[in-house]
Structure 1
Amino acid sequence: MEVNEYLEVFIEESKEHIQSLNDHLLILENDPANMETVSEIFRSAHTLKGMAATMGYRDIADLTHKMENVFDAVRNNQISIHSEIMDVLFQAVDQLEGMVLDIVDGGEGAADVQQLVTQLQAIENKEEIPKASAGFASADIVDSKPEAADTIFSPFANLDEFEQTVLRQSKENDCNNLEINVRLAENCLLKAARVYMVFEVLEQVGEVIKSDPTVQELEEENFESSFHVLLITKETADQVKNKILKVSEVEEVVIQEYELAEPSESAQQEETKLDESKEEQKTAAPKQQETTTKTKKAQNVVSKTIRVNIDRLDALMNLFEELVIDKGRLEQISTNLRHSELQDTVEHMSRISNDLQNIILNMRMVPVEQVFNRFPRMVRQLSKDLGKKIDLQIVGAETELDRTVIDEIGDPLVHLIRNSLDHGIETPDKRIQAGKNETGKLLLKAYHSGNHVFIEISDDGAGINKEKVLHKAIENQVVTPEVAEQLSEKEIYQLILSSGFSTADHISDVSGRGVGLDVVKNTIESLGGMLTIESEEGSGSLFSIQLPLTLSIISALLVEVADEKYAIPLSSIIETAIIHKEDILNAHNKQVIDFRGKVVPLLDLKDVFEVPVEKEESDLYPVVIIRKGDKMAGLIVDTFIGQQEIVLKSLGEFLGDVFAISGATILGDGQVALIIDTNTIIT
């Protein structure tokens, strides 16, 4: 077997199962008697064990095998869950995640899991759990005891009347009703495929009436190593058995004759009707066919979802962008030629391309749940480390964002949450002294608003001390005392986003309010987003992140400077205006204007981009008012062209550091317009 062929699938599915383990362990910790959750954890551990063993990752298989044994004992009421057991289980999941990440990085997924295996073994045996620092004796890793299959416990005791009637008729026609138990090898690769092959054999020799587990469960590999089938056939049990055993990775087949119970009165009536009326046989036939079809070609049922590498979606988007450029050119040609049929065709093509654009963009959209999923576990661990009680609430996890944004937003959110837990929410004793509930609340919320997604992290902690922030800002020479006196409340809070700024009295391993927040701010702004802060001392803080829905296609205002065209993202624009020459003032050797009571610096894009053209004196200047947080600036341009949806193209590695340019777009006439990075212009 070529393992590399399945490596990507293994990694993705392993991540899903590990996330499922984390989620359900958190549920189980709050509700130890929830057997449904225990079963979910058992299934995830069992599936992960089989996948890892198949791929040759022995340490992952060993660890999940012991976890599986623990939860098997729990669901059989042999042991009860308590906090010490939960700690070991969470450590085991952490170890599994680390090994999978090692595989992602090209490693072998190996680790020293012996002490965790021994701890899990002790839990299973109801012994005292050894401490992590203690020595560990070797433990048996793999339980090779085969599943008993000498006799069959029949799962087909309660067949419906129609199924019983079909079986009775088969006996009258000298057919055999066989109950078959098939056991696959413990480390079977792709169990669903083996089941399909078995069903193929059975359909060649007869008709499958029923299976246990159900066909859907077999398709989803929601079974351990064995399954039962009820078959009608002309062949003998030995003939059927020999054919099934030819399927690879089938370890054992046990067949016995299925014995029907005495027919009920209604079943006898049904049988009589089937014998007496051919028409009713025709009516009943589809029902029989439906029962058989559910099992026949079981694996031919096409899944409604498939895994697609993000690189393929990027390639698809790039090809579509080229199509948009050609479409724009065709629109110009059809307008110039004024050919009615060509114009109709181009209009139809435009409608189709718009639909295609929406489909491609939606394909790239993923729920922020993918990022949010990691936080319940993280908050649990941090609350224990800090000795705090935290109630984490997540709202709007289904909100969708572009995959590129999702990949980048995780680390900033982690840092903001760690700050809220460490320096926002107080310890239980301090909260009680302040008249609060000893359990602090942390709210993680996502929602759509216009063409943006907002992610908010709020807590009901101590809030931000404004006086302390100002004192530190002056001490670190971030602002002068004179400037500090004129700052608004929001501007004071924004100071903690300055590089290296911190109000923490002591450095902690978790975080310090403000340390690294400049990196968070820069990351968010690089995504075209914005970070704002609100706080009330003693009541809590709110960090709000505004992000664009997608980075691929944005709404922009096209402007002209000399003979060059530029695009300014609409998300950064407050409004456009025409100002008179006499309205331009000078302050500190810089041009400014009075915009709605605020002094706004004025920048001429000819100077910013050093456009080689002589400036012409004019009495009127077109100006675009842009913003970055609470800061604003006015950009002088020559002409407003209009609003347009544009495709964002990277300038490539050789032009990646061009000042105040974030990319380029190709217009319908083939011209290139540079996209202005307004966050760089406003300092």
Structure 2
Amino acid sequence: MSMDPDILRDYVSEARELLEQAQSDALALECAPDSDAVLASLFRAFHTLKGGAGFLDADALVEWTHHLEDLLDKLRSHVLPVTPTTIDVILKGLDVIQCMLDELGRGVYPNPGPSDLGQRICALASVEDVHTSPPESASENVRPIAEQPTGVESAESGTLQAWQKLKPDGKVGVYVERVSEGKDKGAVCVESASKAGDDAASDTISDEEFEQVLDALYGHKAPGVVPPAERRVMDSQVASTAVLPGALPQATAPAPVTSVAAVKTERPSSTSETPESTLRVESARLDSVMNQVGELVLLRNRFLSAMQTTIGEHEDLARIAREMDLTVNDMQSTVMRLRMQPCKRLFQQLPRVVRDVSRQLGKRVNLQFVGEDVEIDKKVVDALSAPLIHLVRNSLDHGIETPADRVMLGKNEIATLRISAVHLGDKVRIEVSDDGNGIDAQQVKQKAVEKGLIGQEEAARLTESDAIDLIFRPGFSTNDVVTEYSGRGVGMDVVKKTTQSLRGRLDVHTNLGTGTTIAMEFPLTLAVLPVLYLRLRRDVYAIPISSVSSLIDVDPQRLYQVQGRALYQAGPEQIVPFVDLGEILHQRPIQLGTEPTDGILTERGLLVVSEVLGNEDSVVKPIDFLSESHWYQGATLSGKGEVVLILDIANLKHSQAEPKRGVA
């Protein structure tokens, strides 16, 4: 393509956002088929996509969006009813647009869409209503742009005033803006400068005329395109503000297979963000800035460490050091906020997944969202997309029963699938919960033995929690038959690996017969990691401070051996695994009562070390030779300039039992 790469990149980026909104609108339309506002929002998305595609000469995309636009025109005029079939066609049409945008993103013109789906769209778009005809007043006002007066004639006619300016590349430049509040609602102002540099002429036009302008400019017919409807009348609500699916009234018709509910049901108007308040920046540039801030944090740490011996003797130097510390902290916090994105960006793909899968499985599901405005690091949003989809599909396939089975069990035939996000201090917890049949630990152990993942003796020793953890083993599946959604033994292990790679933790809470919750916890940001330094004999290590509950003195009298496992009584009613880092990392256990010891109570158990040194903000650096070891998250540079390995608590303890309540 000869198109400017910056223009192409901007279009593809904005088009993807339009596509996401169009998918949300399509799903909302299924729940509220009589909503003109949703139809208008969906129509605008296709119209904008078509306009940009025409500017890029992406004829296949222009053709495809034009067909979908014709279909929506039938829905808006109520010639064609909104049914699950029409929604299916629209969603599949959006999938084709996604593929076309992927091709544009690679710098190539997209190929035409699949002919069979195109024929279905055209067939629906060609339906005519013999009982109604377009209003004469509307049809009289809609004329091709070639018939519209131009130049001085347009000023005299009082209809459409628009001058066209030919650019060197032959493109037509048209400048469009919404008129002020004092003019008619729904009006649009179209203006352009003349080639000779005369004053621009402008006036208001109706929505019908505005649509005709865009059709004439960008909706040119490509080979194989079905001619657009001759009379297309745009609702006055096209100029209205888009609304979230959750804000729509529920349809009075029979409930669809899947419904979507959200705690927050309103979103700001699309006009709330002006060009002056929003700036698009490549994520790579933000990553570069964050890396530089990380290096600044390390330099700050080294400076403060080096000045500790002399800073008390110089008051001015001490004040400068404090001010520098505050400034670096503020800069770090500001840059980290730039990387934060609402969880809504992560959740927005799930309604489509739930709708498609539940329909194919014959299940009825009410999808609920909580905490869509909770913000999390962009890296987590990007990395967690596929794992979250797998968790949802797994819940639909394995956890939730069919309507008939649910009725037999005394449950509501419509299952509830809840996706939530909540702040927990410096972490974010994301949960996928269902009210299905839960996980049978005994069945899990039996399947693991059958597949050769564990032996009979090991299975007998496993606690219920350990048995449930087997679902994250590669190759494990409780399904005997391979289906489109499960049975291959892949997916859950990827969920666990992804969670760990993001410095997160994964927990499963299940009750047989009542449901399952799979929870993932992640740090708010992955750019800077607060760590606690510790010494193990002569070596220094670090652990994420977010995993530390408290520091305690280790009492040898509270150490017990239960079925070959070391447990420690951390409190009156708290028994936790006893993790001896000396035994794990040095193959030489720490001698309690003989060697100096400190205890670090973590979410995974009690770590026994030689000494706790202190805490510090750090920047995690990946090290190649550590990739084969599951004990380390990476390395960092301490304030003294030393390379320190960061331990992965979950993997250090993976052979230990989960913390238990109550003394056994």
Q: Same fold (TM over 0.5)?
A: yes
Query: Which residue number in structure 1 is paired with residue 507 of structure 2?
Result: 532
Q: Take 2:486 and 2:165, find their aligned partners in 1: how far apart are those partners?
A: 50
* Other-structure match for 1:353: 328
User: Is 1:122 the equivalent of 2:95?
Assistant: no
Choose the corresponding residue for 1:664, options 621, 626, 635: 635
Q: Is the 8 A contact 2:444 2:467 kept in 1?
A: yes
Task: Report matched runs for 1:21-420 at 5 Å.
Answer: 21-105=22-106, 107-126=108-127, 146-147=144-145, 149-150=147-148, 181-182=161-162, 191-192=174-175, 211-212=203-204, 224=211, 226=213, 302-332=275-305, 335=308, 336-337=310-311, 338-420=313-395
Secondary structure in 1 matching 2:66: helix
Relative to structure 1, the CA distance from residue 95 to residue 340 in structure 2 (aligned partners, 3 Å threshold; closer, same or farther) is same
Q: In 1, Cα distance between the equivalents of 2:384 and 2:58?
A: 31
Which residue, 376, 396, 415 being the options, matches 1:421? 396
Aligned length, in residue pairs: 562
Q: Does 1:550 align with 2:525?
A: yes
Q: 2:607 aligns with which of 610, 627, 634?
A: 634
Q: Distance in 1 between matches of 2:94 and 2:532?
A: 50
For 1:382, give the aligned amino acid: V
Q: CA distance change for structure 1 residues 606 and 538 in 2, over 3 Å: closer, same or farther? A: closer
Distance change (3 Å), C-alpha of 1:547 and 1:662: same
Which residue of 2 is the match for residue 579 of structure 1? 554
- CA contact 1:422–1:511 (8 Å) conserved in 2: yes
- What TM-score do you get using the length of structure 1 for normalisation? 0.72
* Equivalent in the alignment of 1:238: none
**Are 1:20 and 2:21 counterparts?**
yes
Q: Cα 1:179–1:49, aligned 2, differ >3 Å: closer, same or farther? A: closer
2-structure distance, mates of 1:436, 1:585: 44
Structure 2 residue aligned with 1:620: 596
CA offset digits 1:64-103 (Å, max 9, x no partner):
0111122223323443323332222221111111222233
Deviations 1:302-331 (A, max 9, x none): 521111111111110111122223333443
Whole-angstrom CA distance in 1 between matches of 2:561 and 2:442 = 33
State the 1:627 CA deviation: 4.5
Q: Indicate if the aligned counterparts of 2:190 and 2:204 stay in contact, CA closer than 8 A.
A: no
Amino acid at match of 1:608: L
Contact 2:165 2:173 in 1 (8 A): no
**TM-aligned CA deviation for residue 48 of structure 1:** 0.6
State the 1:333 CA deviation: 5.5
Per-residue deviation, 1:464: 2.0
Q: Quote the Cα distance in structure 1 between the aligned partners of 2:148 and 2:361.
A: 55
Decide whether the 8 Å contact of 1:581 with 1:620 is kept in 2.
no
How far apart are 1:126 and its partner, in Å? 0.7
Q: Conserved in 2, the CA contact under 8 Å of 1:67 and 1:89?
A: yes
Q: What CA deviation, in whole Å up to 9, does each residue of 1:359-410 have, x standing for no partner?
A: 1010001112112111111111112211222221112111111011111111
Distance 1:325 1:58 in 2: 52
Which letter does structure 1 place at the counterpart of 2:631?
A
Deviation at 1:177, TM superposition (A): 12
Opposite residue 423 of structure 1, the aligned amino acid is H
Q: Which runs of 5+ in 1 are unaligned?
A: 129-144, 157-174, 228-247, 252-300
Contact 1:391 1:441 in 2 (8 A): yes
Q: Does 2:436 correspond to 1:461?
A: yes
How far residue 57 of structure 1 moved from its aligned partner, in angstroms, is: 2.1
More helix by share: 1
CA contact (8 A) 1:453 1:546 kept: yes
- Measure how far apart 1:616 and its partner are: 12
The equivalent of 2:474 in structure 1 is 499
Tell me how far apart the structure 1 counterparts of residues 561 and 37 of structure 2 sit (CA, whole Å): 72
The 2-side partners of 1:74 and 1:492 are apart by 52
C-alpha change, 1:483 and 1:594, in structure 2 (3 Å) is: farther
Q: Is the 8 A contact 1:382 1:421 kept in 2?
A: yes
Quote the offset at 1:663 in angstroms.
Answer: 1.8
2:182 counterpart residue number: none
Whole-Å Cα distance in 1 between the matches of residues 319 and 212 of structure 2? 61
Structure 1 residue 682 corresponds to structure 2 residue 653: yes
AA partner of residue 299 (structure 2): D
1:557 shift after superposition: 0.9
Separation in 1, partners of 2:593, 2:408: 67
Q: 1:49 to 1:475 in 2, by over 3 A?
A: same
Aligned equivalents of 2:614 and 2:173: distance in 1? 56
Matched, 1:648 2:620: yes
> How far apart are residue 602 of structure 1 and its match?
3.9
Match of residue 407 from structure 2: 432
- Identify if the C-alpha distance between structure 1 residues 497 and 470 changes in structure 2 by more than 3 Å, giving closer, same or farther: same
Higher relative contact order, chain-length normalized (CA < 8 Å, sep 6+): 2
Aligned: 1:510 with 2:485: yes
Aligned partner of residue 321 in structure 1, secondary structure: helix
Structure 2 CA distance for aligned equivalents of residues 441 and 585 of structure 1: 43
Local SS of the residue matching 2:613: strand
Mark the CA change 1:551 to 1:200 in structure 2 (over 3 Å): closer, same or farther: same
The alpha-carbon deviation at position 45 of structure 1 amounts to 0.5
Q: Counterpart of 2:162 in 1: which secondary structure?
A: strand
Moved more, 505-514 or 179-188: 179-188
Match of 2:644 in 1: 673
1: CA distance between counterparts of 2:587 and 2:469?
A: 32
Stretches of structure 2 that go unaligned for 5 or more consecutive residues are 130-142, 179-188, 221-273, 655-664
Secondary structure (helix, strand or coil) at the match of 2:554 reads strand
Which protein is bigger by CA-based radius of gyration?
1
Whole-Å separation in 2 of the counterparts to 1:522 and 1:202: 60
Cα contact 1:633–1:682 (8 A) shared by 2: no
CA distance in 1, matches of 2:210, 2:297: 49
Contact kept? 2:340, 2:375, Cα under 8 Å = yes
Q: Return the alpha-carbon distance in structure 1 between the equivalents of residues 158 and 107 of structure 2.
A: 49
Q: Equivalent of 2:580, from 590, 600, 603?
A: 603
Q: Give the secondary-structure state (helix, strand or coil) at the position aligned to 1:181.
A: coil
> Could you state the TM-score of these two structures normalised by the residue count of structure 2?
0.74
The answer to whether the Cα contact below 8 Å between 2:160 and 2:205 also exists between their aligned partners in 1 is no
